[in-house]
C-alpha cells in the first residue's frame, strides 16, 4: 500500500512552493509532498550569471504592492535582503516615432507627455459618459471605446511588457477584472477612480508608487529559500490523475503517489492536459507567448538612459519588443566599468523571430538599439537565453475556462487549481492565488472566490 499524503502539490514552480509555504505556516504538521518533473525547482524563475553579468531567464522583478508577497518575504526573512528599484525614482520609456519618450508617472507628466496628442487627452474624458458594455471585449477594443484610440500604443507597450501579448486578443475581463468591476459599478472608470480617491484621500501610504524587487543572487534566491523547507520529489513527471477510494491517485514516471487533497500548481495548459479526461474543458489549450532574452554587456561608453528600460508598440515596427536596462535597475548586474541590457524578442506577434540564429538575433538587436541609444561599441558580452517557459495568454473566452475550473473544484472533492495563467501571470498573482488555494484546502471550502480589486499599478 502506498502512503497517503495529506496534500500532493504538482509543480514546484513559484506557485507550488508558495502554496507549500502557506500550508506549512497555517498547519505545521501537514504532510505535503511536491512532485516536480524537472531536475530543479523554480519553473520559469531562473537566474543567469556569466563573466560577472547577471540577468534572468524568466521574471526580472516583482512589485512590492501585494500583501501575500510581502508576507512570504517577511516569513522567510528575505525582505531585508531584497534589492529595491522604486518606480517613482526610475523612468520607463516608450518608443515613439523612433525615439525613446518617458512614460508619464504623475498627473503633470500625463498632461504634458508627447506620447498622446492634446485631442487624445481630451478624448479620454469621454469615459465619463460611455455606458459600460456588459460583454467581454479585447483590451484594445475596450480602451478604444472608453478612452479613444490615441492611448492604444501605450496600452500595446504595457501589454508587451507584461504578457508579450497582443492587445487585440487579450480579454479585458480576464486581465483587469477589478477595473471592469469598477467601471460597471461606477458607470465609468474615471468616475470610479475619483470615488475611490475621495474615500482614501487621507491614506497617503497607498498612493506611493511601488518598488520592483529582486535579490543580489537573482530571483532564484526566492525559490531556493522556499524550496529548502519543502519535501520535493524532483525529476518526477505526473502523467495521469484519478480518484481512488476517495483519495487522489497519481501515476508518475517514478510510480504511484496517493493523497487526500491535490493541488495542481501548474501552467493552465499542463493542468488541462492532466484533467481533460475527468471533465472536458471548453478548450484543449490556450495560446502561450514565448520570448527570447538576449543579454548584452557593454563597456560604460554605452550611454544608456537613466531608467528601467523601454518598450516598443507594434506600430513602431521594430525588431526588439523592448529592453531592460538591468544594471541601472539593480546593483552589481555587470562587472565594474560595464553596463548590462537585456533585450526581448518574439512574443505573441512575432513567433517567427524565435527561429533566428543567435547571431541573427544579436545583429538585429544591436542595429535596432543603436537607433535609440548611443552605443559606440558592439557588446563585449552576448548571451542568447531561450526560455522553455512561455507566458499563458488570457485571451477572449478565458472566462469559460475559469468557469470550468470553478466547476471542477466544486465537483471534485479535494481538488484545487492555481498556477500560471489561471487568474493572472505575474509573480504576485501566483503567490496570492497560492495563499487562497492553501486556505481553501485547509478549510475544505469548495470555491475560491474573491472580489476582483483594482491594482494601483498593473505593469
Ligand X SMILES: Cc1cc2nc3c(=O)[nH]c(=O)nc-3n(C[C@H](O)[C@H](O)[C@H](O)COP(=O)(O)OP(=O)(O)OC[C@H]3O[C@@H](n4cnc5c(N)ncnc54)[C@H](O)[C@@H]3O)c2cc1C
Which positions touch ligand X (CB under 6 A)?
10-16, 35-38, 43-45, 58-62, 237-238, 265-267, 270, 291, 387, 389, 391, 419-420, 425-427, 430
At closest approach, how far in Å is the CB of 270 from ligand X? 4
φ, ψ at 303 (rounded to 5°): -100, 80
Nearest residue (CB) to ligand X, 349 versus 389 = 389
Q: How far is the CB of 362 from ligand X (least distance, A)?
A: 18
CB of 427 vs ligand X, minimal distance in Å:
3
Q: From the CB of 273, what's the least distance to ligand X, in Å?
A: 7
CB of 222 vs ligand X, minimal distance in Å? 10
List CB contacts of 311: < 8 A, sequence separation 6 or more: 92, 93, 94, 95, 157, 158, 160, 161, 321, 322
Burial 300-310 (b: 16+ CB within 10 A, else e): eebebbebbbb
Q: Do residues 416 and 20 touch, judged by C-beta distance below 8 A?
A: no
CB-nearer residue toward ligand X: 192 or 259: 259
CB burial of residue 140 (10 Å; 0-12, 13-18, 19+) = buried
* Whole-angstrom distance, CA of residue 344 vs CA of residue 61: 15
Beta carbon nearer to ligand X, 177 or 419: 419
Q: How far is the CB of 301 from ligand X (least distance, A)?
A: 28
Residues in a beta bridge with 384:
294
> Residue 329 CB, nearest distance to ligand X (Å)?
11
Q: Which three cell numbers stand for residue 63?
A: 512589485
Listed in sequence order, the residues at least 6 apart from 325 whose beta carbon sits closer than 8 Å to its beta carbon are: 304, 305, 307, 308, 309, 339, 340, 341
Q: What are phi and psi of 97, to 5 degrees?
A: 50, 45
Of the pair 44, 294, the CB lying nearest ligand X is at 44
Nearer to ligand X among residue 87 and residue 265 (C-beta): 265
Pair 419, 402: CB distance under 8 Å: no
Beta carbons of 164 and 347 less than 8 angstroms apart: yes
Q: Which is nearer to ligand X, 192 or 392 (CB)?
A: 392
Task: Kindly tell me which of 311 and 430 has the beta carbon lying closer to ligand X.
Answer: 430
CB 270 within 8 A of CB 285: no
Measured distance CA(29)–CA(387) in Å, rounded: 37
Q: Which is nearer to ligand X, 35 or 394 (CB)?
A: 35
The secondary structure of residue 344, as a DSSP letter, is: E
For residues 306 and 325, what is the distance between their CA atoms, to the nearest angstrom? 8
Strands (E), 194-269: 211-214, 232-233, 238-244, 247-252, 255-265
Cell of residue 268, nine digits? 493552465
32-35 and 4-10 beta bridge pairing: parallel
Nearer to ligand X, 192 or 421 (CB): 421
Nearer to ligand X, 115 or 227 (CB): 227
Task: Provide, rounded to whole angstroms, the least separation between the CB of residue 78 and ligand X.
Answer: 15
- Which grid cell is 96? 515613439
Note the residue count of the chain. Answer: 459
Please report how close the Cβ of residue 324 comes to ligand X at its closest, in angstroms.
Answer: 9
Least CB distance to ligand X at residue 40 (A): 8
Amino acid at each position: 500500500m502506498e502512503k497517503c499524503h495529506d496534500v500532493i502539490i504538482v509543480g514546484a514552480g513559484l506557485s507550488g512552493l508558495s502554496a507549500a509555504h502557506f500550508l506549512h505556516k497555517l498547519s505545521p504538521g501537514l504532510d505535503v509532498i511536491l512532485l516536480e518533473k524537472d531536475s530543479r525547482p523554480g519553473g520559469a524563475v531562473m537566474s543567469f550569471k556569466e563573466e560577472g553579468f547577471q540577468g534572468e531567464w524568466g521574471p526580472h522583478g516583482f512589485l512590492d504592492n501585494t500583501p501575500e508577497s510581502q508576507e512570504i518575504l517577511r516569513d522567510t526573512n528575505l525582505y531585508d535582503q531584497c534589492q529595491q528599484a522604486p518606480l517613482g525614482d526610475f523612468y520607463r520609456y516608450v518608443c515613439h516615432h523612433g525615439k525613446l519618450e518617458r512614460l508619464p508617472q504623475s498627473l503633470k507628466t500625463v498632461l504634458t507627455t508627447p506620447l498622446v496628442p492634446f485631442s487624445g487627452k481630451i478624448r479620454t474624458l469621454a469615459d465619463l459618459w460611455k455606458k459600460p458594455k456588459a460583454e467581454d471585449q479585447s483590451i484594445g477594443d475596450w480602451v478604444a471605446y472608453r478612452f479613444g484610440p490615441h492611448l492604444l500604443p501605450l496600452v500595446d507597450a504595457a501589454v508587451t511588457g507584461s504578457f508579450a501579448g497582443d492587445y487585440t486578443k487579450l480579454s479585458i475581463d480576464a486581465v483587469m477584472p477589478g477595473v471592469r468591476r469598477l467601471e460597471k459599478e461606477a458607470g465609468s472608470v474615471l468616475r470610479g477612480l475619483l470615488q475611490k480617491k475621495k474615500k482614501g484621500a487621507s491614506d497617503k501610504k497607498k498612493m506611493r508608487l511601488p518598488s520592483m524587487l529582486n535579490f543580489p543572487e537573482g530571483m532564484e534566491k526566492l525559490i531556493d529559500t522556499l524550496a529548502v523547507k519543502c519535501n520535493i520529489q524532483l525529476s518526477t513527471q505526473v502523467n495521469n490523475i484519478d480518484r481512488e477510494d476517495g483519495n487522489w491517485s497519481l501515476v508518475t514516471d517514478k510510480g504511484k503517489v496517493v493523497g487526500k487533497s491535490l493541488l495542481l500548481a501548474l501552467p493552465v495548459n499542463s493542468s488541462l492536459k492532466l484533467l481533460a479526461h475527468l471533465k472536458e474543458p471548453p478548450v484543449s489549450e490556450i495560446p502561450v507567448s514565448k520570448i527570447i532574452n538576449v543579454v548584452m554587456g557593454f563597456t560604460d561608453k554605452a550611454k544608456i538612459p537613466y531608467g528601467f528600460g523601454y518598450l516598443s508598440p507594434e506600430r513602431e515596427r521594430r525588431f526588439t519588443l523592448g529592453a531592460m536596462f538591468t544594471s541601472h535597475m539593480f546593483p552589481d548586474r555587470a562587472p565594474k566599468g560595464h553596463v548590462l541590457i537585456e533585450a526581448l524578442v518574439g512574443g505573441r506577434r512575432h513567433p517567427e523571430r524565435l527561429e533566428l540564429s543567435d547571431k541573427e538575433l544579436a545583429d538585429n538587436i544591436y542595429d535596432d538599439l543603436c537607433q535609440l541609444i548611443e552605443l559606440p561599441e558592439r557588446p563585449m558580452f552576448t548571451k542568447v537565453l531561450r526560455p522553455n517557459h512561455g507566458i499563458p495568454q488570457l485571451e477572449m473566452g478565458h472566462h469559460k475556462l475559469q468557469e470550468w475550473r470553478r466547476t471542477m473544484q466544486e465537483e471534485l472533492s479535494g481538488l484545487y487549481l492555481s498556477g500560471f495563467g489561471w487568474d493572472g501571470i505575474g509573480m504576485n498573482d501566483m503567490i496570492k492565488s497560492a495563499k487562497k488555494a492553501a486556505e481553501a484546502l485547509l478549510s475544505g471550502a469548495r470555491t475560491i472566490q474573491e472580489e476582483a480589486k483594482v491594482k494601483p499599478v498593473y505593469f
